[in-house]
Amino acid sequence: MSIRTTPCDWDVDMGCCPTWEGLPAEQQQFALDVATEILWRLSGRRFGLCELTVRPCLQPCATPSMMPAYPTSSPPGAFSPVMTGGVWLNMACGKCGDECACGSLCEIVLPGPVDSIVEVKLDGAVLDEAEYVVFDHRTLARVPPECWPSCQALTLPDTEVGTWSVTYRQGIPVPPGGLMAAGMLACELGKACSGSSGCKLPKRVQTLTREGVTVGFLDPMSFLTDGLTGLYEVDLWLRTVNPGGLLQAPRVYSPDRRPPRTITGASWLT
């Protein structure tokens, strides 16, 4: 699975920004994009649902000549890369014995977490949602007695016979507090961008006036080092969901497993 470098769409709550409607649409969108990216990164890049379409290419059983030369601990239904005939294939076993004695492949493991399935297409037709079920936010199982196809033509769009695809929402939904925090940060960014008064964003230059003498000094803004924004309500949410200041959630990668293919470029995508 590729590493995401930008957040997915957040349904930001602007209920705490009474001045929001007075901003031009372009400034609103700019402020929303910046606020969302800042909080997505500072919260550990954990939240947000991305709609993803994958094209699994599975094989129900591998012959001894196809077996990889390295040990693998892939669970049933997981993808393991195997070269056969000079071509890499994503092989998987439904029910495996000691020598990969495979039965029907009725489950596949999707890059998770899976929040919800949007649709499953088989031979170009959308399957009824009663024909499949998701386990543990990652395993897509076909309701018996049917099973998933063992392979497909990846060069064809998923509207054609001989193909199948899974479109689903991947990720963790943004908590209500995060949507409100993003709205409050976007509100202050919008004020700063438009030059409006009352902006609560911390200012780098501070002044102190006493007995007619004004002294200017630079605020060290140590909250930036701590992964905060300087806005109390926003930082309260950040400290709640990411008290350790993690840059991103931990990940485990294995060269022995390959995910289903995600087609990112083809003439029929446009």
Give the pLDDT confidence of 209-219 residue by residue, as tens digits. 777 776 655 56
149 and 84 share one domain: yes
Kindly report, residue by residue over 23-71, the tens digit of the pLDDT: 999 999 999 999 999 999 999 999 999 999 988 875 443 444 433 333 3
For residue 8, tell me if it sits in a domain: no
pLDDT score recorded for residue 18: 93
pLDDT score recorded for residue 11: 95
pLDDT score recorded for residue 270: 52
142 and 106 share one domain: yes
Task: Give the mean model confidence (pLDDT) for residues 142-160.
Answer: 87
For residue 249, tell me if it sits in a domain: no
pLDDT score recorded for residue 58: 52
Residue that wins the pLDDT comparison between 184 and 258: 184
Provide the 3-class DSSP secondary structure of residue 171: strand
61 and 142 share one domain: yes
pLDDT score recorded for residue 4: 76
105 and 149 share one domain: yes
pLDDT score recorded for residue 102: 38
Query: Given pLDDT bands bounded at 50, 70 and 90, which one contains residue 259?
Result: low
57 and 154 share one domain: yes
Query: Given pLDDT bands bounded at 50, 70 and 90, which one contains residue 224?
Result: confident
For residue 99, tell me if it sits in a domain: yes
Domain count along the chain = 2
188 and 209 share one domain: yes
122 and 146 share one domain: yes
For residue 183, tell me if it sits in a domain: yes
101 and 137 share one domain: yes
Consecutive H or E run containing 53: strand 48-54
43 and 55 share one domain: no
Distance CA 93, CA 78 (A): 7
Distance CA 257, CA 247 (A): 25
For residue 256, tell me if it sits in a domain: no
Consecutive H or E run containing 42: helix 25-42
Contact present, 186 and 17 (Cβ < 8 Å)? yes
pLDDT score recorded for residue 204: 62
Helix-then-strand count for the chain, H and E: 3, 11
Distances (CA, A) of 17 to 25, 174, 189: 15, 19, 11
Kindly report, residue by residue over 79-131, the tens digit of the pLDDT: 444 444 454 444 444 433 333 333 456 888 888 899 999 999 999 999 999 99
For residue 86, tell me if it sits in a domain: yes
The side-by-side arrangement of strands in the sheet containing 114-122 is: 48-54, 164-172, 114-122, 125-126
199 and 212 share one domain: yes
Distance CA 126, CA 124 (A): 7
- Point out the domain boundary residue: 149, 167, 185: 167
142 and 61 share one domain: yes
For residue 128, tell me if it sits in a domain: yes
Query: Given pLDDT bands bounded at 50, 70 and 90, which one contains residue 191?
Result: very high
The mean pLDDT of the chain is 78
For residue 252, tell me if it sits in a domain: no
pLDDT score recorded for residue 258: 59
- Domain range enclosing 97: 51-167
76 and 32 share one domain: no
Residue that wins the pLDDT comparison between 88 and 204: 204
Kindly report, residue by residue over 235-247, the tens digit of the pLDDT: 999 999 999 888 8
